[in-house]
């Protein structure tokens, strides 16, 4: 903000950190940053209506910080929480602050260390009048793609947090997909870190261009300076940490009845990675295939590129479907094309693919699923056999690919006019009298499947409680 000519007051529980920030601002061009000691002094330095952005750990620390700041704030002021917060908490805080006339905005921020310094993706949700007050700051500070800022008004409070949550869920899926491709490249083809780095660098020049592909190439090229043998990645323990946003996304997908198998598979993969000691023991007991399939290296590499592209499309399709469902339920009126634009720069999932996604959603804002956009459908249809070959190769080689295979399953389920759900519903009616609909006539039906089945009375009452 200070680099964009905004005068900024900063505060922290530790005044030493405040002093360090002010000193850094002086060293980086005498930037207009004023250090404050305590919330009273901090709020007194702000022009009215005050605009406060807080960046603290989600949960109780946010509530505590708001309580301290709001004591010295007035009606019309704005508090923006830029943390990864569970969206119902933002809605609650907005309601509590509204009693004092203070506006509250929950704003998702993505970009990591680079974005924080050079321009992140900003996803604000809150009262429109409050957004209008901070819009000049956001448009100036957000990442830019050409002349377009990677930010915009998402919708009412909670919507910004929700969009950021789904962004992180897509991020989980994207990282898992890339890791599975990496696993096949090294285990099936036998490529070295250097060869894989060169391949990812090449892929980053085309349709797979993205921040995560770019950093994967860099990671694979990094030599280990502690042992001077091999790459750093070879010494990283295969146990993935997480902060919880991926879990929230999967929970919300279940709550909204939206299938999100790629994201769910990526979360499950992190859970499985955490059971390192169990996996080590199991590796001595459980067996994999004894014969490996013959492969054509060049064909497998080409197929992997196609499979990764298709899987990424389905992952975005799942995330956007989830945002759409929540938006409809909560009457947020979220613009999915804006989501794609906000994610095009500054954030972790930024990718060339998002430009095509934005265009598809601008062309048809009521698109039921990204996969049925004419251009995406054509691309997936052309690549789907390569996608199948990769999943088949992974299974035959004993290499787990939960995200790649879940993505393909999502595609296959969505494209089929008829699914075996008829048998599942018949089973439900058999043991629970849950009734069913017929394909040849209107109405609700129950079958006396055996002589033991009795008349169940009012059929409509049997469907009460269905979600």
Q: Are 122 and 347 in contact (CB under 8 A)?
A: no
State yes or no: is 95 an active-site residue.
Answer: no
Residue 157, both tokens: 């409070």
Asked if residue 107 lies in contact with residue 123, where contact means CB atoms within 8 angstroms, the answer is yes
Task: Give the relative orientation of helices 402-415 and 159-184 as an angle to the nearest 10 degrees.
Answer: 110
* Radius of gyration in angstroms for the set of CA atoms belonging to the chain, rounded to a whole number: 26
Q: Which of 171, 252, 358, 379 is catalytic?
A: 171
Rounded to whole angstroms, the Cα distance separating 464 from 151 reads 42
Angle, CA 176 vertex, CA 217 and CA 257 arms, to 5°: 145
How far apart, in whole angstroms, are the C-alpha atoms of residue 323 and residue 330? Answer: 10
Rounded to the nearest 10 degrees, the angle between the axes of helix 374-397 and helix 159-184 is 50
- From the list 51, 85, 164, 180, the catalytic residue is 164
Beta bridge partners of 108: 123
Is 297 part of the annotated catalytic residue set? no
Strand order in the sheet with 103-110: 51-54, 78-81, 103-110, 121-125
Task: Round to the nearest angstrom and report the end-to-end CA distance of the chain.
Answer: 46
Residue with tokens 């505590």: 64
**Other CB atoms within 10 Å distance of the CB of residue 116:** 14
Residues labelled as active-site residues: 164, 171
């Amino acid at each position: 903000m200070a680099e964009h000519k905004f005068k900024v007051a900063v505060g922290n529980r530790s005044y030493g950190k405040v002093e360090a920030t002010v000193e850094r601002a002086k060293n980086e061009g005498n930037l207009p940053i004023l250090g404050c000691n305590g919330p009273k002094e901090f709020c007194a330095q702000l022009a009215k209506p005050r605009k406060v952005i807080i960046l603290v750990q989600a949960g109780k620390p946010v509530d505590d910080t708001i309580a301290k700041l709001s004591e010295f704030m007035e009606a019309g002021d704005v508090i923006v929480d830029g943390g990864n917060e569970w969206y119902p908490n933002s809605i609650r805080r907005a309601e509590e602050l509204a009693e004092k006339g203070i506006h509250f905005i929950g704003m998702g921020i993505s970009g990591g260390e680079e974005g924080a310094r050079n321009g992140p993706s900003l996803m604000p949700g809150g009262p429109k009048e409050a957004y209008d007050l901070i819009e000049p700051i956001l448009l100036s500070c957000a990442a830019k793609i050409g002349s377009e800022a990677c930010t915009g008004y998402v919708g009412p409070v909670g919507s910004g947090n929700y969009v950021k949550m789904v962004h992180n869920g897509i991020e989980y899926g994207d990282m898992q997909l890339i890791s599975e491709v990496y696993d096949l490249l090294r285990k099936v083809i036998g490529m070295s870190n250097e060869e894989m780095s060169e391949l990812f660098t090449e892929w980053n020049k085309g349709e797979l261009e993205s921040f995560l592909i770019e950093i994967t190439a860099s990671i694979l090229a990094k030599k280990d300076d502690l042992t001077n043998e091999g790459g750093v990645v070879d010494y990283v323990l295969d146990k993935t940490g997480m902060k919880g946003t991926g879990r929230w996304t999967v929970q919300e997908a279940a709550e909204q009845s939206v299938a999100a198998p790629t994201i769910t598979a990526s979360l499950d993969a992190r859970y499985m990675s955490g059971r390192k000691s169990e996996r080590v023991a199991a590796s001595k007991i459980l067996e994999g295939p004894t014969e490996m399939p013959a492969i054509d290296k060049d064909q497998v590499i080409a197929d992997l590129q196609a499979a990764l592209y298709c899987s990424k499309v389905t992952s975005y399709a799942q995330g956007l479907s989830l945002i759409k469902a929540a938006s409809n339920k909560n009457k947020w009126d979220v613009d999915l094309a804006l989501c794609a634009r906000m994610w095009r720069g500054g954030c972790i999932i930024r990718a060339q693919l998002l430009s095509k996604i934005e265009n598809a959603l601008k062309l048809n804002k009521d698109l039921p699923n990204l996969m049925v956009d004419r251009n995406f459908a054509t691309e997936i249809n052309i690549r789907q056999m390569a996608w199948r070959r990769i999943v088949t190769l992974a299974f035959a080689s004993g290499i787990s690919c939960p995200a790649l295979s879940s993505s393909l399953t999502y595609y296959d389920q969505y494209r089929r006019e008829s699914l075996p759900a008829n048998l599942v519903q018949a089973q439900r009616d058999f043991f629970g009298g849950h009734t069913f609909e017929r394909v040849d006539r209107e109405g609700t039906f129950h079958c006396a499947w055996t002589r033991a089945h009795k008349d169940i009375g009012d059929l409509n009452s049997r469907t009460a409680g269905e979600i």
